Structure 1
Amino acid sequence: MVSRGVVGIFLLSALPLLCLELRRGIPDLVHLKEEEEQNEKKQKLVREKQQEAQGEKASRYIENVLKPHQEMKLRKLEERFYQMTGETWKLSSGHKLGGDEGASHTSFETSNREAVKRENLPKSLTEVLPPAEQRMRKEVLDLPEEPPETAEEIVTVALRCPSGRVLRRRFFKSCSSQVLHDWMVSTGYHTSLYSLSTSFPRRPLEVEGGQSLEDIGVTVDTVLIMEKKEQGN
């Protein structure tokens, strides 16, 4: 009984000390928890920055490497397709004459004289026509108004010049075939020096004023090649 009483007295005397130690330890636990929360926030911020950096890096890769590579691949496939179909003229941006026939007509005399001069033809062929003859020549070279894309019974003609430039224009199939020569002359290439041929099969195109485009076989979208005539022709 005495020993139990001694133990009880000892525990009672030690209880205040235990409570004091517990009170001292509680702030330490709170501080430790706050440090853990701050560390978690810092780690989360670091992860977010890493994700943003990776996202920017992926975007730059797509824009600077992947996208150009895909565009180049598509371009090669397109070139291969048009080479197989014989429609390589579609790869060129071309030049439509629908809105600038007037400018072409205005520069006709100058372009024609330069072309003739290159062929060393007599000076008489390079002389400027009198005003009356100029008006007559311009009337002959007036091209018909280009029909809209939605019109029926039309064809698109691509004219490949010796310089490599490709011109495109729409015509009604019922137009006189002479319009092809007028178009060629209006671009500065005279029929005395150049002729027209079909691209496939390759053959000279017979243009006659009394026949329409449909009569000479231009019934679908067509590529015509402008070729320099041989000397003596």
Structure 2
Amino acid sequence: MEAMRQSVANSIPDEPPADCKQEMARLRFRCPDGKVVSRRFLGDTQLTVLFDYLMLEGYRIVDYKVLTTFPRRDLTLEDTSKTLKELKMVPQETLILEAR
């Protein structure tokens, strides 16, 4: 399990700087315990990378839904090869993590 976790950690790109010139998604995650986590991703990042990031934060997709606020949709049902830009999460989005 730890080897898999390390492999996923190595596959996640570094967070882009705030002054990055490329299109960027500024995401805020509302966690079930009330914690709010923020992170930036490039707009061309695939959804699967976002799910890998959440797994490292302790929120596995098999245990949690990832929901947009408006319109409300479950991203865990989307094609994971879509980019954050294609999913209209650029320039920013608040996502809700909900236990299954």
Q: Give the TM-score range, shorter chain.
A: 0.7 to 0.9
SS in 2 for 1:203: coil
CA RMSD in angstroms comes to 1.6
Between structures 1 and 2, the one with greater helix share: 1
- Map 1:67-86; keep pairs closer than 5 Å: none
Q: C-alpha displacement at 1:218, in angstroms?
A: 1.4
Native 8 Å contact 2:67 2:73 kept in 1:
yes
Instruction: Return the TM-score normalized by structure 1.
Output: 0.39
Using the alignment, how far apart are the partners of 1:207 and 1:149 within structure 2? 27
* 1:195 aligned partner, one-letter code: K
Native 8 Å contact 1:178 1:207 kept in 2:
no
Find 2:87's aligned residue among 200, 216, 224: 216
SS in 1 for 2:25: strand
Identity %: 33
Corresponding residue for residue 144 of structure 1:
13
Using the alignment, how far apart are the partners of 2:93 and 2:78 within structure 1? 15
- Asked if residue 228 in structure 1 is aligned to residue 65 in structure 2, the reply is no
Using the alignment, how far apart are the partners of 1:207 and 1:157 within structure 2? 17
Question: Whose radius of gyration is greater, 1 or 2?
Answer: 1
Using the alignment, how far apart are the partners of 2:94 and 2:84 within structure 1? 13
* 2:88 aligned partner, one-letter code: G
Which runs of 5 or more residues in structure 1 are unaligned?
1-128
Structure with greater contact order relative to length (CA < 8 Å, sep ≥ 6):
2
Using the alignment, how far apart are the partners of 1:207 and 1:137 within structure 2? 23
Native 8 Å contact 1:196 1:225 kept in 2:
yes
Native 8 Å contact 1:197 1:204 kept in 2:
yes
Q: C-alpha displacement at 1:140, in angstroms?
A: 2.3
Using the alignment, how far apart are the partners of 1:225 and 1:141 within structure 2? 22
- Asked if residue 188 in structure 1 is aligned to residue 58 in structure 2, the reply is yes
Q: C-alpha displacement at 1:162, in angstroms?
A: 0.1
Q: C-alpha displacement at 1:207, in angstroms?
A: 4.1
